[in-house]
Chains A and B, each alone.
Chain A
C-alpha cells in the first residue's frame, strides 16, 4: 500500500493541518508520499521533508502553481495516481475543490470528510448535517479521500530531512482558469481549524462593531474566532470564520458559543469540541442541547464581567 497526500499549500506554506492528514495515512498503513506545489517551494519542501514518516516529496514548482488551481494540478496528480492505493487531502476548501476532479478523471469515487479509518477501505463519516454517522466501504481501485482534520492528531513528528524529492511538471498548459486575487482577513489569532480554544459569535451580537467584544475575549484566551452563518450573512464577520456544515469544522478543547441559536447546520461544525459553553439570552435556544455549560443571560452584561474575571486570574 502507498498513500499520496496532496498537501494544502495555500499562502505558499504547508497548511498546519497537514500533520492530521499524515496521521490518517499512518492509520491506513504503507508508504506515505507528499505532493506539494507553489511558486517558490523551498520552505514548503524543507518543511515537508522534515516530517517523520514521509518517504518522498513530489514538487510542482512554477508560477502557474502559485495558487492551487484545480485545472493546473489535476493532470499532475492523475499522472502519479497509478503508483498509489490511496490519495488523500484535507477536507478543506483546497481538498474539496481538487480531489473530486482528480477522482472523476480516474473514474474513482471519493469518500468526503473521513473522520475515522476502520480498515484501509472502510471509513466513518458524518452526513445529514452531522445527524448520521455512516460507515462506508469504498470499492474503487484507488481510494480517494478527504480527511476531516480535526478527527486526527495534527502533531507532526520532526525527523532529519530524510525524504527524497522529485520535481514534476506537465505538458498541458492550463488556459482555462486564472487566479485574479484573494481577499484575506489578516488576524494575529490562532488558526481556527487547529486552535485549542474557539470563541464564536452569532446574530445575537447585533452588529459588526459589537463583534469586537468577541475579539477581546479571544485575545484574553489566545483563542481563534468563529462565527455562525447568520453572523457572516449579516456582515458581522468574514466568511472564513464560519463554523458549520458548510463552513469550517472545528474541535477545540474549549468552544464558547455566544449569541448563537444553535441550528443543526452550526452544531455540525463544532459538536466534537471537548467542552462546549453556550451564552444566550434565550433559554430555549437549541445551542443549549449541544452545550456542556450554559449561561442564560444578556451577553453584553455577562461578557465584560467574564473578561474581567479572566484578566484577574
Chain B
C-alpha cells in the first residue's frame, strides 16, 4: 500500500499572532514557523502504518514557498520515504490545495491519503473533505483510530455526539484528529537520514490547476479584549459576585 500525506507550514502553535497596523493582513514577520500539528499527526500515522507492515511507501507533500521544504524534511525525519514540493508563491486556499493534491493523487495513485483535519492558521477544516469530493473517494474525517482489514479501512471518528466508527473502501481520504497518535521525537540520526531522502520539486504551473482564490480577505482585527479579571478571595465572595454583580446565578 502506498500512502500520500500532506503538510502545511504554519506559525508555531504557541504564538499569538496579531494584525499588521493596516489591519489588512496578519503580521507574520519574524514569526517562528512549524509543521501544522495535525499534519504532523497525519505523517506519524502514515509512518506507523508502514512500520506495521501494511504500507510500503509514504510520500509527504507540501505546497508553498521554498521554506516549506523544511517541513517536508521534518516529515522525512519522522519516517516518510520521499517528498514532493509544489513550489508557488501564490496564496493557496483550501479548494486550491485540494485541487493540487488531486492532481498529485492522479499521478501517484496512492491507496490512502492522510491529511491533518485542519491547519491552525486558517482553521478551515476543509481540504481533506474537498479532496475526497473531487476524487470521488470515501472520507474518514476527524480520525482517532485507524485499522485495516481485507482491503478496507475502519476509522473511529471524533464527532460531536461521541465516537463514530465507519468502514471505508480503499482508496480513501482520512483526516487526523488530535488523539490519533502522539508524534515521535525526532532523533539526530533520523534528521541526518532525512537529508539524503529524495525530494522532488514541481512547479505549480506544470500541474495545470486553477488556484485562483475565491475568498478575499477584506480585513483582520484582534478580538475585543475583556476587562481585567477581578480576583475574589473565597467561595463566599465568588457566589456573592456572581449573584449580585454579574447576576448569572
Residues of B within 8 A of A275 (CB): 242, 246, 248
When distances are taken between beta carbons in the complex, the residues of chain A under 8 Å from B142 are 93, 97
Interface check B46, CB cutoff 8 A: no
Contacts of A133 in B (CB 8 A): 220-223
Q: Mark B199-234, 1 if CB is under 8 A from A, else 0.
A: 000000000000000111111111100110111111
Q: If A97-B139, A132-B19, A137-B218 touch, does A126 touch B93 (CB 8 Å cutoff)?
A: no
One of A28-36, A57-65, A69-77, A80-88 at the interface: A69-77
| Cβ contact within 8 Å between B130 and A101 | yes
Given contacts A97-B129, A184-B161, A305-B234, contact A293 B229 (CB under 8 A): yes
Query: Which chain A positions have C-beta within 8 A of B172?
Result: 176
B191 CB within 8 Å of chain A: no
Q: Which of B162, B165, B222 contacts A131 (CB 8 A)?
A: B222
How far, in angstroms, from A238 to B220 measured CA to CA in the complex? 35
Q: Which of A94, A103, A177, A306 has a CB less than 8 Å from the CB of B138?
A: A177
| Residues 78-112 of chain B, each 1 if its beta carbon lies under 8 Å from chain A, else 0 | 00000000000000011100100000000000000
Complex interface: chain B residues within 8 A of A138 (CB): 214-216
CB atoms of A137 and B215 under 8 A apart? yes
Q: How far is the CB of B161 from chain A (nearest CB, A)?
A: 5
A174 nearest in chain B by CB position? B138
Contacts of A128 in B (CB 8 A): 11, 17, 26, 120-121, 123
Query: Looking across the interface, which residue of chain B has its beta carbon closest to that of A296?
Result: B231
Question: Do A180 and B154 contact each other (CB < 8 Å), given the known contacts A133-B223, A134-B220, A139-B216?
Answer: yes
Closest to A312 in B: B239
Interchain CB contact (< 8 A) of A302 among B157, B178, B234 = B234
Q: Is B13 an interface residue (CB 8 A)?
A: yes
Chain A residue with minimal CB distance to B10? A128
Across the two chains, which residue of chain B brings its CB closest to A185? B162
Interface 1/0 per residue, A256-297 and B, CB below 8 Å: 000000001100000100111110000000001111111111
| Known pairs A97-B141, A131-B16, A182-B163; A108 contacts B214 (CB<8 A) | yes
A120 touches B (CB below 8 Å):
no
The reply to whether B130 and A264 contact each other, CB–CB distance below 8 Å, is: no
Alpha-carbon separation in the docked complex, A288 to B134 (Å):
45
B231:A240 contact, CB within 8 angstroms:
no
> Please, what's the 1-or-0 string for A199-241, where 1 marks a CB less than 8 Å from any CB in chain B?
0000000000000000000000100000001001100001110
CB-CB < 8 A to B177: which residues of A? 246
Tell me, rounded to whole Å, the shortest Cβ–Cβ distance linking A250 to chain B. Answer: 12
Which of A182, A240, A293 is close to B230, meaning CB atoms less than 8 Å apart?
A293
Please determine whether B236 and A309 come into contact, CB atoms closer than 8 angstroms.
yes
Query: Is A44 on the interface with B (CB-CB < 8 A)?
Result: no
* Cα–Cα, bound, A108→B235 (Å): 52
Nearest to B170 among chain A residues (CB) is: A176
- Residues of chain B within 8 A (CB-CB) of A135 are 217-221
Option from B144, B217, B230 in Cβ contact (under 8 Å) with A239: B144
- Residues A176 and B217 in contact, CB atoms below 8 Å apart: no
Bound complex: CA A291 to CA B232 (Å):
12
| Residues of chain A within 8 A of B19, CB atoms compared | 132
Contacts of A103 in B (CB 8 A): 95, 126, 130, 133
Q: Is the CB of B231 within 8 A of A294?
A: yes
Q: Does B2 belong to the interface (CB within 8 Å)?
A: no
Output the residue of A71, A92, A105 with the most chain B CB within 10 A. Answer: A71
Contact A179–B239 (Cβ < 8 Å):
no
Query: What mask results when residues 117 to 138 of chain A are scored 1 for a CB within 8 Å of chain B, else 0?
Result: 0000010001111111111111
* Least CB distance, A59 to chain B, in whole angstroms: 22
How far is A133 from B217 in the complex, measured between Cα atoms in Å?
11
A181, CB-defined interface residue at 8 Å: yes
CB-CB < 8 A to B126: which residues of A?
100, 103, 110, 112
- Contact between A104 and B95 (Cβ–Cβ < 8 Å)? yes
B222 to A104, Cβ gap below 8 A?
no
B160 on interface, CB distance cutoff 8 Å: yes
The answer to whether A240 touches B234, judged by C-beta atoms less than 8 angstroms apart, is no
24 A-B pairs whose Cβ atoms sit less than 8 Å apart in the complex: A11-B161, A70-B129, A71-B138, A93-B160, A104-B133, A108-B95, A110-B124, A113-B123, A127-B121, A131-B222, A133-B223, A135-B217, A140-B215, A177-B168, A182-B165, A183-B165, A184-B162, A254-B246, A274-B248, A278-B229, A290-B226, A294-B232, A295-B235, A306-B239
Write the residues of chain B forming the contact surface with A, with a CB cutoff of 8 angstroms.
11, 13, 16-19, 26, 38, 93-95, 98, 117-118, 120-134, 137-142, 144, 154, 157-169, 172, 177-179, 214-223, 226-227, 229-236, 238-239, 241-243, 246, 248-249
Given contacts A134-B217, A138-B215, A295-B231, 14 further A-B contacts (CB under 8 A): A71-B138, A93-B160, A97-B141, A110-B130, A127-B122, A135-B218, A182-B163, A271-B223, A277-B242, A278-B229, A293-B229, A293-B231, A293-B238, A310-B249
Q: What 7 A-B pairs have minimum CB-CB distances, sorted nearest first?
A: A104-B133, A104-B130, A176-B138, A100-B129, A109-B214, A184-B162, A101-B133
